[in-house]
Amino acid sequence: MRLRIENLQVKYGNVQVLNGLNLHVDQGEIVTILGANGAGKSTTLMTISGLVKASGGGIFLDNQPLHKLEAHHIVQRGLAQVPEGRRVFSTLTVLENLHLGAYSTTDKDRIAQNLEKAYAMFPILYDRRSQLAGTLSGGEQQMLAIGRGLMANPKILLLDEPSLGLAPILVKSIFSTIRKINETGVTIVLVEQNARLALKLAHRGYVLELGKIVLEDSARALLANPEVQNAYLGGG
């Protein structure tokens, strides 16, 4: 299983957001994409998920093109996304949200198993299962968003800013959960403002500037790289 992005071009109207982006993610990896606001990180994830259409280049999963598929078919191929700002369905219950995460499958046993796994990972979701998602705290909503993503039984999980707006202690627990998810064999693509934390978790990282990858290295090397330290790690 290998996700490969080749020369990806995305435009919003006349604005070129991604301009020849190349990257790849191998089976079992945690790969992080770093970059300033507006560099195109979220656009990259949204294009992988099929919510934004590429104007050129391609995205391939095991050499099969994804960029021509509708979003719901991409989920069926085993790519789930936990979007920026969580975007839980606030007027639906926690359980309904989780079930929607498994919308791409109709296999009842599989859904029940995944629900068990999600509850095991986030016991608080079980306690709150009949509550409306909008009544949860920010941290709980992030747990719900991740649990909902796992309900699709993804091979690759795309995470967009999972630490956004959370207290530091919650951020730590969310990040250790991401590691646990990865240890169960799920490949992770992580976009994160908190570059230091992301690089400590990831195996490899890319630096995105103005819609292009400008740097690619192992996470350890990126942490030690003076340019990265200056630009993204607050001067080391």
Q: Based on CB atoms, which residue is closest to other proteins, 57 or 101?
A: 101
Q: Based on CB atoms, which residue is closest to other proteins, 19 or 105?
A: 105
Q: Looking at the DSSP assignment, which residues form a beta bridge with residue 58?
A: 6
Q: Based on CB atoms, which residue is closest to other proteins, 11 or 220?
A: 11
Q: How far is the CB of 74 from other proteins (least distance, A)?
A: 8
Q: Looking at the DSSP assignment, which residues form a beta bridge with residue 140?
A: none
CA distances in angstroms from 225 to 83, 89, 212, listed in the order given: 29, 40, 19
CA distances in angstroms from 51 to 47, 81, 83, 143, 216, listed in the order given: 6, 11, 11, 23, 26
Q: How far is the CB of 54 from other proteins (least distance, A)?
A: 16
Q: Based on CB atoms, which residue is closest to other proteins, 73 or 172?
A: 73
Total Cβ atoms within 10 A of residue 185: 10
CA distances in angstroms from 141 to 45, 77, 78, 124, listed in the order given: 20, 25, 23, 11
In 184-215, alpha helices (H): 195-201
Q: What is the largest CA-CA distance in the chain?
A: 51
Q: How far is the CB of 169 from other proteins (least distance, A)?
A: 27
Binding site for other proteins (CB under 8 A): 49-51, 70-72, 75-76, 80-81, 83, 87-92, 96, 99-101, 103-104, 148, 152
Q: How far is the CB of 89 from other proteins (least distance, A)?
A: 5
Q: Based on CB atoms, which residue is closest to other proteins, 110 or 172?
A: 110
Q: How far is the CB of 96 from other proteins (least distance, A)?
A: 6
